[in-house]
């Protein structure tokens, strides 16, 4: 369930400076709400409650309004993602070429559903509507690397390369 994640104490002092330097680039104009949210998420990896509140104050909006916009768009993450973000493309071309079973297999390997993060914060799983690399269907993206023409076996191998701790074995 979506709620609001708060900053951990250790990053709080730095956060204010970081946020201020982002806001410095924007006019106090409602039209900048989404670009600001995008920039903040780009810097912090997600949108902590404190950031949404500060953006609301900056743009003279209510915090609920900012939250309402943040929860409308799938790009915005309200909780931090895992170290590796695995995205499975669910576009039509990918679907026709087996992305549903690819996704099921990755869910099984990671033990999480799309939108979730593993307990060790190693992987987050997401689906994406279409990345437009349809000719390579089915497509999987890990962080910024695009993997085309995936089979379940290849996906397992690829996932294995993104583990900080290679000792703990990935489910076959």
Query: By the criterion CB under 8 A, which residues form the site for another protein?
Result: 1-4, 29-35, 37-38, 49, 52-53, 59, 61-69, 71-76, 90-97, 100-101, 104-105, 108, 128-137, 139, 146-148, 151-153, 171-172
- The nearest distance, CB 16 to another protein, in angstroms, is 19
Kindly tell me which of 7 and 34 has the beta carbon lying closer to another protein: 34
- The nearest distance, CB 130 to another protein, in angstroms, is 4
- The nearest distance, CB 111 to another protein, in angstroms, is 10
- Per DSSP, the three-state class of 41 is helix
Kindly tell me which of 153 and 164 has the beta carbon lying closer to another protein: 153
DSSP letters for 119-158:
TTSSEEEEEES--S-GGG-S-EEETTEEE-S--HHHHHHH
138-38-89 Cα angle (round to 5) = 5
Kindly tell me which of 160 and 164 has the beta carbon lying closer to another protein: 160
User: Pick from 90, 12, 92, 114: which is nearest to 54 by CA?
Assistant: 12
- The nearest distance, CB 166 to another protein, in angstroms, is 19
* Separation of CA 124 from chain center: 7
Kindly tell me which of 133 and 163 has the beta carbon lying closer to another protein: 133
- The nearest distance, CB 120 to another protein, in angstroms, is 19
Kindly tell me which of 25 and 73 has the beta carbon lying closer to another protein: 73
> What's the CA gap between 8 and 13, in Å, rounded?
10
- Per DSSP, the three-state class of 114 is coil
β-bridge pairing 145-147 and 140-142: antiparallel
């Amino acid at each position: 369930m979506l709620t609001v994640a708060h900053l951990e104490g250790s990053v709080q002092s730095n956060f204010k400076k970081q946020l201020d330097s982002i806001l410095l680039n924007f006019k106090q104009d409602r039209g900048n709400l989404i670009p600001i949210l995008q920039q903040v998420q780009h810097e912090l990896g997600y949108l902590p409650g404190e950031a949404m509140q500060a953006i609301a104050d900056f743009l003279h909006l209510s915090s609920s309004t900012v939250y309402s916009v943040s929860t409308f768009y799938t790009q915005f993450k309200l909780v931090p993602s895992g170290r590796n973000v695995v995205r499975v493309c669910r576009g039509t071309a990918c679907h026709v070429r087996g992305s549903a079973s690819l996704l099921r297999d990755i869910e099984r390997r990671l033990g999480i559903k799309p939108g979730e993060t593993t307990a060790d914060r190693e992987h987050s799983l997401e689906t994406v509507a279409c990345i437009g690399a349809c000719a390579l269907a089915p497509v999987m993206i890990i962080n910024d690397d695009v993997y085309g023409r995936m089979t379940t076996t290849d996906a397992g191998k690829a996932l294995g390369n993104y583990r900080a701790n290679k000792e703990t074995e990935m489910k076959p």
